[in-house]
Amino acid sequence: MAPEHHPANTAEWIWHPRYVWVTAGAVAMIFLAATQALAVTTVMPVVSADLDGASLYAVAFAGTLATSVIGMVAVGAWCDRTDPVLPLASAVALFVAGLVIAGIATDMGFLVVGRLVQGLGTGGQTVALYVVVARVYPSHLHGRVFAAFSAAWVVPSIVGPVMAGAVAEYLHWRWVFLGVAVLTAVAFTMVYLRLRGLPLRTDSPSRAPVLGRLAWASLVAVGALGLSLAGEAGPAAPVVVAAALLLIAIGARPLLPRGTLRAARGLPSVILMRGLIAGALFGAEIYVPYLLIEDYAFSSTWAGLGLTSAALLWALGAELQGRYGDRLGNARITLLGTAQLVAATLAAAATAAFGLPPAVLIVGWALAGGGMGLMYPRLTVLTLAYSSSADQGFNSSALSISDSIGASASIAAMGLTFVALSSTGAAFPVVFLVATALALLALVPGLRLGHARERADAG
C-alpha cells in the first residue's frame, strides 16, 4: 500500500505518525553526513600531521568523491530491481565501515582506504534515500521532504567546523569519524524499523545490465580522481584535466538519461541543470572565505560568515520551495533561482575587482544560497516525478552523478584558472565570472524542465 496511491491524504505532512520515524531517521542521516563532510575539512590538517601523511592529503578528499560515483550507480541499479531497504542498509554499512577504518587508522594509507570505502557508502546512501522518498511519501510531500534534507545541511555548516575542532582538541580527531559512525547506525535503525515489512518493491523491476554501468561508473571515478589531483601535475595539469574530462564524458554518457548533454526537454534538462548550478556554486564557494582572508585579513572563523549566510538562506529557499513550489512553477523557480545565483557571483566578482567593502561579498553571497535552496530540492522533486518505479534508482543516481561531475569539473577548471592568474590580480574576479557564466548557461536547460507528475497530488 504505497502512499502515492492515496492522493486524498493532502492534509498529511512529513511528520505525520505514518512517516515520522522515516523522516526523523532520514533527516538525521543527511545531517550526520553533512556534519562529517564539513568536519573532515576542519580536522584533516591535524590528521595529516599526526599520521605523517602530507603526500596523501589530497587523495583523502578526492578518493571519497571518486568512489561515490560507483556507489551511486550500484545502489541505483539495485533499487530499480527490488525495494530500497537492503540497498540502503548496504550503503550505510559501507559508510559506517569507512568511518571506523578511518577512525582507527594508524597511517595515512590506511585512512585513505577508509575514505574510499566511505565514498562508496556516501554515494549509495544518497540515492537509496531518494528512492525511499519516492516509494514511501505521496508526491505532494516530496518537496517538503527535500526541503527538510536541505535544512539538515544548515546546522552543520554553521557549527560543524567549530564542533570538529573542539572534538579534535579536547578528545581526539578519531572521534570525528567514530562518533558519526555510531550516530549513523542509530539513525538508520530508526528508518529500518519503520521500512521493514512495507511493500516497497517495484512492480516492474528493471532488467538493465548492471556490470556495464559499473564499468562506466569506474571510468567516471578515475576521471573525477584525475580532476581532483590535476593541480599536483605541475605544467602537465592542463593535459591531465583534458584527459580526465574525456574519461568522464565517455563514462558518464551511458549513466545519464538520453539527451542530457543536448538539454532535451524534461528529465534530461533536469539532470543537466543540476550539474551546471552545482558547478557554479561549489566551484566559486571555496574562494569566498579565501578572498576574505587574503584581501581583508579576516580570521578563518570570521571568513566563514559568507558561507553561513548562504546556508541560512538556502534553508529558507528550500522551505519556500517546499510550500509554494507548485504555485510558482518550474520556469519561475528557474528564473528566480538563477537570478540570485548570478547576482551573488557578480557581487563577489565586483568585490574582488574593485575592493568593495566585505559586507557586499557576505550579503551578496547569501543570495547564492537562496537561489540554490529554491532550485536544488525542486530538481530532485522533478527527477522523482519523471521516474517510474522501474527507473527511480537510475534517475536518482544520474542526478547525483551530475552533481559530482559539475562540482569536480568546475573546481578543477577554476583552480587551474586561479593559479594561472594569481600573479595578475585578476584571479578572484575571473573565477567568480566563470561561475556567473555557468549560472547563466543553466537557464538553457532550466527553461526546458517541463512538468511531470510533481503536481499530480498537490493540494
- Say whether pLDDT at 455 is over 70: no
Q: How confident is the model at residue 10 (pLDDT cuts 50, 70, 90)?
A: very low
Q: Mean per-residue pLDDT for 77-90?
A: 90
Of residues 345 and 299, the one with the higher pLDDT is 345
pLDDT, position 378: 93
Can you tell me the mean pLDDT for 299-316? 75
Higher-confidence position of 297 and 375: 375
pLDDT attached to residue 285: 84
- Predicted confidence at residue 170, as pLDDT, reads 77
Q: Give the lowest-confidence range in 75-79, 166-170, 279-283.
A: 166-170
Task: Give dist(CA 230, CA 244) in Å, integer.
Answer: 9
φ, ψ of residue 2 to 5 degrees: the values are: -75, 140
Span 244-263, pLDDT tens digits: 889 988 999 999 999 998 99
- Judged against a pLDDT cut of 80, whether residue 57 lies above it is answered with no
Tens of pLDDT, residue by residue over 284-305, are 887 888 888 788 888 756 766 6
Q: Hey, what's the cell of 306? A: 559568507
Cα–Cα dist 198/245, whole Å = 42
CA dihedral 284, 285, 291, 293 (to 10 degrees): -160
pLDDT computed for residue 206 by the predictor = 67
pLDDT category, 5, cuts 50, 70, 90? very low
Whole-number Cα distances in Å, 367 to 9, 112, 306:
35, 36, 10
Q: Tell me how far the alpha carbon of residue 214 is from its chain's centroid.
A: 20
Question: Given this model, what pLDDT does residue 7 score?
Answer: 40
**Has residue 433 got a pLDDT over 90?**
yes
Using 50, 70 and 90 to split pLDDT, how confident is the model at 384? confident
What is the band of 457 on the pLDDT scale with cuts at 50, 70, 90?
Answer: very low
183-194 residue pLDDT tens: 999 999 999 988
**Is 31's pLDDT higher than 80?**
yes
Cβ-in-10-Å burial (0-12, 13-18, 19+) of 262 comes to: exposed
Could you tell me the pLDDT band of residue 439, with boundaries at 50, 70 and 90?
very high
Which pLDDT does position 458 carry in this prediction? 36
- The model's confidence at residue 173, banded by pLDDT at 50, 70 and 90, is confident
Confidence of residue 144 (pLDDT cuts 50, 70, 90): confident
Between 135 and 412, the higher pLDDT residue? 135
- Set of cell numbers at residue 253: 554518457
- Kindly tell me if the per-residue pLDDT of 116 is higher than 70: yes
Percent of the chain past pLDDT 90, that is, above it, reads 39
At residue 283 the predicted structure's pLDDT band, cuts being 50, 70 and 90, is: confident
Q: What is the pLDDT of residue 3?
A: 47
If one compares 216 and 226, the residue with the highest pLDDT of the two is 216
160 vs 377 pLDDT, higher one? 377
Grid coordinates 505514518 are at which residue?
18
Tell me: pLDDT of 459 over 60.
no
How much is the pLDDT for 139?
Answer: 83
Reply yes or no on whether the pLDDT at 160 is more than 70: no
Q: CB count, 10 Å around CB of 61?
A: 17
* Cβ-contact 369, 312 below 8 angstroms: yes
